[in-house]
């Protein structure tokens, strides 16, 4: 804890010594809080207040316009019923199954690929300064932009399939983006492409932070490179794994433009994630209460991941 606040209290009498300065010095004391207040108030109202408002709406019968008569948990009951409506799949069933597939593969592949690339780059590579920005640039571009290229690339008539046909591999077939059972996997490919470079950078920073002495000692003890990484380096990277997981989990739950840009929702909404479900039901299908309920469920999922993490990060650490 800093001690400025205490120092300041000691200083107050000095200010008071000057005649007529007492109001000004009181103001000076309050100034920090006055400066912070608008931001904090905005957060309270526009984040927490609005969340409560959304929760409230989810218990009403709102359709096209918000209605403020509480009508019970009907929206949640419908979502719950849809959760098990797999044949034919309800939009909600599709969205949450997609979330499961996407979330699992996206996080897993990004972690694996990110770690793999970081380890490769950490082998005293010439040209690291060129390679790193190449791996990372997708994070700087909107997926609305790069989705244009991905869509083209994955399109069977124009992209990869067509190209390989021209090169003579005519039996090659790749139409996932048009196939309602596989379209979500194209979202995984594009998502991994976008985020894995950043995860690589996180792991690389972690690797660079490891004490070289430990590595040297292990090498002297005759550990092979593989053993070195498996037994020593990867366990030491645990905090990075945690941070990377949090980043990926929250990106996965928030993913929205990925699906819109790449698939426009996929055939019959088959590529929807809960974020797309929320948007469509709220703004296009005039089911505001259901949309709000799905937003609340998204929020609760994220809260369950983020709050323990923030708590452990912000707890007063012994210094």
CB of 74 or CB of 250, closer to another protein = 250
Single out the segment in contact with another protein by CB under 8 A; choices: 6-14, 95-103, 178-186, 208-216.
6-14
Q: How many other C-beta atoms lie within 10 A of the C-beta of residue 293?
A: 27
Segment 147 to 166, residues that bind another protein, using CB under 8 A: 148-153, 158-160, 162-163, 166
**Which tokens sit at 27?**
């103001």
Contact flag: residue 314 with another protein (CB under 8 A): yes
| DSSP helix/strand/coil, 86 | strand
Smallest separation, CB 71 to another protein (Å): 17
Write the DSSP string, 165-221. HHTT-TT----GGG-TTTHHHHHHHHHHHHHHHHHHHHHHHHHHTS-HHHHHHHHHT
Segment 235 to 254, residues that bind another protein, using CB under 8 A: 243-244, 246-247, 250, 253-254
Query: How far, in Å, CA of 13 to CA of 30, rounded?
Result: 15
CB of 13 or CB of 38, closer to another protein = 38
The answer to whether 76 and 292 have CB atoms below 8 angstroms apart is: no
Contact flag: residue 70 with another protein (CB under 8 A): no
Q: Quick one: CA dihedral 202, 183, 95, 50, positive or negative?
A: positive
Contact flag: residue 261 with another protein (CB under 8 A): yes
Answer for which of 59, 91, 107, 138 binds another protein (CB under 8 A) is 138
Segment 187 to 206, residues that bind another protein, using CB under 8 A: 193, 197-198, 201-202, 205
Contact flag: residue 107 with another protein (CB under 8 A): no
């Amino acid at each position: 804890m800093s001690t400025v606040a205490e120092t300041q209290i000691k200083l107050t009498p000095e200010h008071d010594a000057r005649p007529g300065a007492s109001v000004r010095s009181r103001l000076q004391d309050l100034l920090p809080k006055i400066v912070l207040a608008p931001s904090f108030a905005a957060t309270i109202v526009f984040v927490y207040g609005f969340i409560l408002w959304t929760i409230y709406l989810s218990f009403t019968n709102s359709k096209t316009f918000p209605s403020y008569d509480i009508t019970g948990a009907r929206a949640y009951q419908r979502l719950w019923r849809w959760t098990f409506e797999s044949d034919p799949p309800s939009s909600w069933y599709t969205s949450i199954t997609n979330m499961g597939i996407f979330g699992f593969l996206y996080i897993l592949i990004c972690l694996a690929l990110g770690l793999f690339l970081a380890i490769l780059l950490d082998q005293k590579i010439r040209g690291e300064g060129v390679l790193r920005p190449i791996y990372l640039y997708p994070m700087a571009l909107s997926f609305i932009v790069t989705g244009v290229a991905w869509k083209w690339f994955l399109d069977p008539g124009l992209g990869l399939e067509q190209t390989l046909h021209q090169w003579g591999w005519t039996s090659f077939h790749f139409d996932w983006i048009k196939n309602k059972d596989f379209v979500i996997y194209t979202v995984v490919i594009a998502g991994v492409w976008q985020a894995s470079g950043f995860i690589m950078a996180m792991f690389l920073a972690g690797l660079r932070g490891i004490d070289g002495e430990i590595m040297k000692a292990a090498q002297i003890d005759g550990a092979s490179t593989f053993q070195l990484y498996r037994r020593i380096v990867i366990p030491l990277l645990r905090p990075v794994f945690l941070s990377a997981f949090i980043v990926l989990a929250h990106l996965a739950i928030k993913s929205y433009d990925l699906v819109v840009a790449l698939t426009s929702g996929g055939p019959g909404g088959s590529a929807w994630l809960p974020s797309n479900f929320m948007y469509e039901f709220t703004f296009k299908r005039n089911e505001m209460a259901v949309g709000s309920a799905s937003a609340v469920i998204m929020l609760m999922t994220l809260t369950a991941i983020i709050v323990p993490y923030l708590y452990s990060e912000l707890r007063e650490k012994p210094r």
